[in-house]
Amino acid sequence: MSLTAGIRIHDKHSYGNFGLYLKSRNIGLPEKKSIRQTVPFMNGYYDFSALNGAAAWGERIIEYSFDVTNDSPVELDYFVSYVLEWLGNVHDADIYDDTTYGYHWHGSYDKANIEWDTSGLQAEITVSFAVHPFKIADNPTQHFLTAGTHTITNPGMAVAPIVKSDAVAAIQIGNYVSSIPANEEIKLEIDLERGANTVLVTGEGTVTLSYYEEVL
Cα-based distances in Å from 179 to 167, 188, 198, 207:
11, 10, 17, 11
Q: State the pLDDT confidence band at 12, using cuts at 50, 70 and 90.
A: very high
Calculate the dihedral angle through the C-alpha atoms of 193, 47, 57, 63, rounding to the nearest 10 degrees.
-130
Least confident of 31-35, 36-40, 49-53, 99-103: 49-53
Close Cβ partners of 145 (under 8 Å, ≥ 6 residues apart): 171, 199, 201, 206, 207, 208, 209
- The Cα 62–Cα 75 span in angstroms is 28
Question: Are the beta carbons of 195 and 153 closer than 8 angstroms?
Answer: yes
Close Cβ partners of 77 (under 8 Å, ≥ 6 residues apart): none
Least confident of 49-53, 83-87, 143-147, 200-204: 49-53
* Amino acid 1: pLDDT: 59
pTM (2 d.p.) = 0.86
| pLDDT tens column, 102-146 | 999 999 999 999 999 888 889 999 999 999 999 999 999 999 999
